[in-house]
Structure 1
């Protein structure tokens, strides 16, 4: 019997220990990212919150320290919309290796107009995808220094119904916020799967895993004041939705499992068990459009040209 088949069922409330390991969670100061960081902190690992807002990161850090006895958690400034700033993150981490990064941070706009980053990229595509694409290159030396590091990319169930327009990645021709957001998350998911292909081809020990949170609502999320305050009226009104979706604490489960579970492997997709929308995390088949390697390769080349980086490469080495 293999070690995988003999392992006990995964328990989201009783996670394996990870003392001595170091995890970075981008956007770990709020939303799903906060709960990823809180849950990983309970394993004994050192958890670093990547946040563009130091004040919010301080509040989130204090919340985790108050809830998790002995938590080893701190924050670094991380602005994915500013590509030129990302190289400095490696030094700010002050570690000699990184066991996992959870690419979680993101921007979601509900209404026009279209906004751009300082680098001239559409804000959601530039932050959610290009920022993480570039960050991965700078983190690769630290990831490669760990015995079996993981890059965990947080996609979205909204990406399942989207398709990339490779001739309009920046949504200049037809900008619709919800569609642009879905496509930015789809680009992230293509990146995560293509990254693993390239890491395997290079003989790297780093694995890349893609996850999505299913349907995760604020109104079904437990309070973590002042990071998140649950409105009782909103929770009551959204109670019927709990049959189909869940809170952001549960939306964090697939990412946490992808970081910790030895049975999770590179190139895989993990999400909630029930219709991909709610429930405990499980591996699921790669969506058919995500399996298109030609789209992934073209996106990779475009992303490399837009950022001037190549996440598979180790800076300073040929």
Structure 2
């Protein structure tokens, strides 16, 4: 990984799993890192653990509740008021296969947290990312995006909800968003790129924290016997975040069988993820649901 000294990095969901490892390794390389967590206590414990390992790391923690779009907006506004340029945003936080629930604004939880919140957050802090050349946005999807389809006719899952189906939908939405975002950034001639990553099947607490019963048991068995460790899985988003040769629009994932494990490599998304008409439809829906628009800049960054 190249030296990250002088870069300001913002990682969502950094209190555990891949988010924690991402924050730790970027801090180890010299970046100033803003960690966020929904739960203040867990976030503080993660911060203490990181500082114990890297006492000189420039790391701070702030609470961010991605299940509340009003909180996302207030959080982004506070960052913009501070005016500090962001060099790297990693949209990492997520929930996986919980029972059907709704966010504070009434959106299905997985779609709301995994996609809508990151859509709104990214567009709201884009002025900070565009303040100088070389900024980057990494959105973490999943190999399971390949099983996804957009349930536009039942986006909240009120009529028919399946944990896996709606998780896969949220991960397909991540892919559609990140690729469409890169197209729009290039069309606007902004000095920011958008890159996708997925960790393969990595052993983290994401698979077991939100699940229950037989599904939790299945996940525990899979984590033990099929998954690669999180230290290997995180290399994909770290590569997406720091590799100098990336130009935007790439998807980074493991090079092993069915992209479940292995070393970071360029992978191909589900063809639906590159469908510009589908991406435009999702973008419009996301704008309407989050009341967020792609910013119009009076001046372009140099």
Which residue of the partner structure matches residue 246 of structure 1?
A: 228
- Whole-angstrom CA distance in 2 between matches of 1:88 and 1:95: 14
Shift of 1:265: 2.2
Equivalent residues in 2 for 1:9-28 (5 A)? 15-28=1-14
Aligned length: 283
Query: Residues 20-48 of structure 1: CA distance to partner in whole angstroms, max 9, x if unpaired?
Result: 10111100011111111111111100011
TM-score (norm 2): 0.87
Shift of 1:278: 1.0
TM-score (norm 1): 0.83
- Whole-angstrom CA distance in 1 between matches of 2:106 and 2:55: 43
Residue 64 (structure 1) aligned to one of 41, 47, 50: 50
Task: Please tell me whether residue 278 in structure 1 is matched to residue 261 in structure 2.
Answer: yes
- 1:159 is paired with a residue whose SS is helix
Which residue of the partner structure matches residue 87 of structure 2?
A: 99
Which residue of the partner structure matches residue 307 of structure 1?
A: 290
Which residue of the partner structure matches residue 144 of structure 2?
A: 158
Task: Please tell me whether residue 43 in structure 1 is matched to residue 4 in structure 2.
Answer: no
- Whole-angstrom CA distance in 2 between matches of 1:44 and 1:36: 13
Q: Which runs of 5+ in 2 are unaligned?
A: 206-218
- Whole-angstrom CA distance in 2 between matches of 1:238 and 1:150: 31
- Whole-angstrom CA distance in 2 between matches of 1:248 and 1:54: 23
Equivalent residues in 2 for 1:174-189 (5 A)? 174-189=160-175
Which residue of the partner structure matches residue 116 of structure 1?
A: 102
Equivalent residues in 2 for 1:94-243 (5 A)? 94=82, 96-110=84-98, 112=99, 114-218=100-204, 240-241=225-226
- Whole-angstrom CA distance in 2 between matches of 1:236 and 1:152: 30
Query: Residues 110-169 of structure 1: CA distance to partner in whole angstroms, max 9, x if unpaired?
Result: 4x3x21111111111111110001101221111001321111000011111222222222
- 1:47 is paired with a residue whose SS is strand
Which residue of the partner structure matches residue 10 of structure 1?
A: none
- Whole-angstrom CA distance in 2 between matches of 1:155 and 1:239: 22
Which residue of the partner structure matches residue 240 of structure 2?
A: 258
- Whole-angstrom CA distance in 1 between matches of 2:221 and 2:180: 42
Higher share of residues assigned helix? 2
Shift of 1:238: 6.1
- Whole-angstrom CA distance in 2 between matches of 1:239 and 1:58: 28
Q: Which runs of 5+ in 1 are unaligned?
A: 1-14, 220-233
- 1:170 is paired with a residue whose SS is coil
- 2:263 is paired with a residue whose SS is strand
Which residue of the partner structure matches residue 292 of structure 1?
A: 275
